[in-house]
């Protein structure tokens, strides 16, 4: 019996044949793929001919094709529709893949060839993209420990293997807590909740096997519950459960795991010759040094904290006016902020949401991409990993550009958050292949599915990442799409958010779900006026997480991580009424892998650029200017990692930005 993961895929656009794939197929397929990968790697390293760019660097571009073929459907399912069998495989695969990577970076013959090319790079006549690929390969090997020998090399291999296990366990622990906790609501508990939230809670109850509404720790449920519920006692229960994910003791507790991850990362950095993990991580990012990151964070922190403290006084007075003789607590903020928004802007989210139906907002994101970049989206039927997934064929001028897949609804088998991934990235070497791009969100499922304004921005944000993948036009897969510096990758996504709330887009696509009436000019104006409302709160909760992340990886705590977290928050004067957006025990960005470790700051770093970049459209008073959109595609969106990011941004804007546009955009400018 053949393994569908290893067969030739005769599916449309060679999308993984999910209908044929079983969990039992993954382990044997991965073993074969790893053997194939190592055989090709060895052949390159043992090539008797002198090293050339073609027989070494370009040759490496095709070695892992079978690995990608096996792992792309596996990671899609493990992240967005997992089960106990897939969870077990993830725990099994993580150390196996870490060991596989160590064998590659430990291939001395291969590294010698790469090092020889690097040392003679100026004589090779390479293009700019080829030089970037050589640089990435050389630094990747060095930073993976290829230059180490003996005990240091062996210890680094042990560390990588252990980290892979710990990070996988951390992720699964958070998912387990999110899956297991829910709070049943009686009819009396629904006081203050809008209809859309009650319906979403009932749908969540059906998923949990409960005959009635429930609140889970899915952000799409718990955030609006904290925002609308007039039951302070229930808000406290929900908020404490949300904060406690990964810190409930027992087998799913993440505190000791987080501590060990930090210590191992520090040891890894020291083995490679760095003072700390932050210095190691930031070396290849735009920021370059921890000091540069800290300067940016603190320059935004002070005005954000001042704004939050001013707001806290107002919300506290509202709490006391309700006859509650207590300090404003973290479970009170969203509720009173919503009451204040209604009073000051005559803006009720329950009034807004009927205008933001999911399908209309998806069409809005497609429409903007069509006007800016000429893309067209045609629905197609594909057998995917879950029936909720939708798919589109993306074309331009009749030519295929990409396949786009959207997986939008929260469910117990999906990890929290929102993300963009590629089942296949764009390449022109050795043959041209279009990308298969996936957006995953966690919107509360309803009929119809109504979004908040924050949900709409999330939808556009992830689609901005998708455009970065779709519009990629580079030679080598390793440099395509979002294969860029971590503090540059959020620029396209955050920039695209600016189009979500343009009045002309809202007038066309924000239509009332019951009457089909377009949103009124008055409501659009009120939404615009409230755009920076409560920005002190949202900026503080984000920055607190970014600052803690940086400090963890600059000065590793030698005691309990929660004590260390508290020390950092005390040092920066964290308002007691606000919690970190992601506290340590469930800070998956940082502890689920190396992606955003010492790099959570990248959202605000990129926002400095996205605020300045959209200002280019505002300066010419045309958000759909064809020439500027073409320039944006030719620089930022199509080049992937083939050019240094500061060069790309300067090519688009003519200079690097300061933080003034960011502060202005967040309403924090003094």
| Catalytic residue set | 462
* Residues 6+ away with beta carbon under 8 Å from 489: 465, 468, 482, 602, 606
The end-to-end CA distance of the chain, in Å, is 69
CA distance 412 to 82: 9
CA distance 483 to 472: 10
CA distance 342 to 348: 5
CA distance 544 to 524: 31
Phi, psi torsion values for 170, nearest 5 degrees:
-55, -50
DSSP code, position 337: H
| Complete DSSP assignment for 408-456 | EE--TTS-SS-EEEEEE--B-SSS-B--EEEEEEEEPP-SS-B--HHHH
372-375-380-382 Cα dihedral, nearest 10 degrees: -90
β 436-443/399-409 pair status: parallel
Give how far Cα 72 sits from Cα of 77, 224, 473, Å.
9, 33, 21
Cβ count near 60 (within 10 Å)? 20
- Is the distance from CB of 215 to CB of 253 less than 8 angstroms? no
* Residues 6+ away with beta carbon under 8 Å from 364: 500, 505, 508, 509, 510
CA distance 31 to 39: 12
CA distance 139 to 122: 16
| Complete DSSP assignment for 492-548 | HHHHHHTTTT-HHHHHHH-B-TTT-PBPPHHHHHHHHHTTTTTHHHHHHHHHHHHHH
DSSP code, position 51: P
Question: Can you read off the two tokens belonging to residue 232?
Answer: 């302070």
CA distance 561 to 574: 17
- Is the distance from CB of 636 to CB of 648 less than 8 angstroms? yes
β 390-396/399-409 pair status: antiparallel
Helix (H) and strand (E) counts for the chain?
27, 7
- Is the distance from CB of 296 to CB of 605 less than 8 angstroms? yes
- Name 395's bridge partners: 376, 400
- Name 443's bridge partners: 409
> What residue has token string 């290893």?
6
């Amino acid at each position: 019996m053949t393994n569908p993961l290893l067969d030739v895929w005769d599916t449309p656009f060679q999308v993984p044949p999910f209908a044929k794939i079983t969990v039992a197929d993954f382990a044997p397929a991965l073993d074969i793929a790893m053997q194939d990968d190592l055989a090709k790697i060895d052949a390159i390293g043992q090539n008797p001919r002198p090293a050339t760019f073609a027989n070494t660097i370009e040759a490496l571009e095709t070695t892992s094709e079978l690995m990608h073929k096996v792992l792309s459907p596996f990671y899609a399912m493990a992240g967005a529709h997992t089960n106990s069998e897939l969870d077990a495989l993830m725990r099994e695969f993580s150390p196996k893949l870490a060991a596989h990577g160590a064998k590659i970076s430990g291939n001395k013959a291969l590294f010698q060839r790469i090092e020889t090319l690097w040392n003679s790079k100026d004589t090779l006549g390479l293009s700019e993209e080829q030089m970037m690929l050589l640089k990435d390969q050389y630094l990747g090997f060095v930073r993976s420990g290829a230059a180490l020998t003996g005990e240091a090399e062996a210890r680094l291999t042990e560390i990588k293997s252990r980290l892979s296990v710990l990070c996988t366990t951390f992720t699964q622990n958070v998912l387990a807590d999110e899956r297991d906790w829910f709070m049943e609501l009686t009819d009396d508990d629904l006081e203050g909740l809008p209809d859309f939230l009650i319906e979403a809670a009932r749908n969540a109850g059906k998923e949990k096997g409960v005959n009635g509404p429930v609140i889970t720790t899915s952000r799409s449920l718990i955030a609006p519950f904290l925002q609308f519920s007039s039951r302070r006692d229930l808000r406290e229960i929900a908020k404490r459960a949300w904060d406690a994910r990964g810190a409930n003791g027992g087998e799913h507790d993440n505190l000791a795991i987080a501590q060990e991850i930090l210590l191992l990362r520090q040891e890894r950095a020291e083995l490679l010759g760095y003072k700390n993990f932050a210095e190691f991580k930031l070396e290849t990012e735009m920021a370059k040094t921890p000091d540069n990151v800290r300067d940016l964070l603190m320059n935004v922190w002070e005005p954000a904290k001042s704004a939050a403290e001013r707001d806290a006084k107002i919300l506290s007075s509202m709490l006391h006016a309700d006859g509650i003789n207590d300090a404003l607590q973290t479970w009170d903020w969203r509720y009173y902020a919503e009451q204040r928004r209604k009073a000051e802007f005559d803006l009720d989210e329950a009034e807004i949401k009927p205008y933001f139906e999911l399908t209309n907002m998806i069409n809005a994101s497609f429409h903007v991409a069509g006007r800016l970049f000429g893309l067209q989206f045609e629905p197609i039927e594909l057998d995917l990993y879950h029936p909720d997934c939708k798919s589109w064929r993306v074309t331009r001028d009749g030519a295929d550009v990409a396949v786009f897949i959207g997986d939008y609804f929260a469910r117990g088998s999906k990890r929290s958050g929102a993300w963009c991934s590629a089942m296949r990235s764009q390449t022109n070497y050795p043959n041209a292949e279009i990308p298969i791009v996936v957006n995953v969100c966690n919107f509360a499922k309803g009929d119809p599915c109504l979004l908040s304004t924050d949900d709409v921005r999330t939808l556009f944000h992830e689609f901005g990442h998708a455009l970065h993948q779709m519009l990629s036009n580079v030679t080598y897969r390793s440099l395509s799409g979002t294969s860029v510096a971590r503090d540059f990758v959020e620029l396209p996504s955050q920039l695209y958010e600016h189009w979500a709330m343009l009045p002309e887009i809202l007038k066309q696509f924000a239509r009332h779900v019951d009457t089909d009436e377009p949103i009124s000019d008055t409501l659009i104006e009120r939404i615009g006026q409230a755009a920076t409302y409560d920005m002190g709160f949202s900026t503080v909760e984000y920055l607190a997480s970014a600052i803690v992340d940086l400090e963890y990886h600059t000065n590793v705590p030698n005691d309990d991580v929660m004590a260390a977290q508290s020390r950092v928050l005390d040092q920066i004067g964290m308002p007691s009424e606000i919690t970190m957006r992601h506290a340590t025990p469930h800070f998956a960005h940082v502890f689920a892998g190396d992606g955003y470790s010492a790099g959570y700051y990248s959202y605000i770093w990129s926002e400095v650029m996205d605020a300045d970049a959209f200002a280019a459209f505002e300066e010419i008073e045309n958000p759909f200017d064809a020439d500027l959109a073409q320039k944006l595609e030719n620089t930022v969106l199509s080049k992937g990692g083939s050019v240094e990011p500061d060069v790309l941004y300067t090519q688009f804007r003519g200079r690097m930005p300061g933080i003034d546009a960011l502060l202005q955009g967040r309403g924090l400018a003094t």
